[in-house]
């Protein structure tokens, strides 16, 4: 910050996320938020179930559309590298020595399928 401080709300990077949330709310309304949240939770359930079906993957329970998992065969750093080579980019979950998928409004079933197919091939 040029002034050395931020005048935004605590926890934001200077308030842009609050403004974005407000205008998204104005654009889609409560029904749009609810519809999207339900779609993302359904997609998270699909991802969880598909990961759980791969015996060499340990997947953690979830309550939000964020799925953490780890390989029983490969380190999370190695798996992250292999997936990146296939143009699949995930987040690290260092406290679990795992990877995580944060499902967002732009994600669709084909994104989940691409990840699952890659993990099946790798394992």
* pLDDT, tens only, 35-44: 999 999 999 9
| Domain, as residue range, for 98 | 40-122
CATH number, domain containing residue 98: 3.90.1150.10
- pLDDT for 13 equals 60
What distance lies between CA 67 and its chain's CA centroid?
A: 6
The answer to whether 102 touches 65, Cβ cutoff 8 Å, is yes
The answer to whether 76 touches 97, Cβ cutoff 8 Å, is yes
Instruction: Specify the number of domains making up the chain.
Output: 1
pLDDT, average across residues 73-90: 96
The region, left, alpha or beta by phi > 0 then psi within -120 to 50, assigned to residue 11 is left
Does 58 map to a domain? yes
Does 89 map to a domain? yes
| Two structure tokens written together for 56 | 């060499």
pTM over 0.85: no
The answer to whether 15 touches 9, Cβ cutoff 8 Å, is yes
């Amino acid at each position: 910050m040029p002034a050395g401080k931020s005048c935004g709300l605590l926890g934001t990077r200077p308030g842009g996320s609050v403004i974005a949330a407000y205008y998204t709310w104005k654009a889609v309304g409560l029904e749009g938020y609810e519809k999207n949240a339900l779609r993302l939770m359904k997609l998270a359930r699909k991802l969880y179930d598909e990961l759980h079906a791969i015996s060499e993957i340990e997947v953690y329970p979830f309550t939000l559309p964020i799925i953490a998992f780890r390989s029983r065969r490969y380190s999370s750093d190695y798996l992250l590298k292999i997936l990146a080579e296939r143009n699949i980019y995930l987040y690290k979950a260092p406290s679990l020595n795992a990877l995580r998928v944060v499902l967002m409004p732009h994600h669709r079933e084909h994104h989940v399928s691409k990840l699952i197919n890659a993990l099946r091939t790798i394992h």
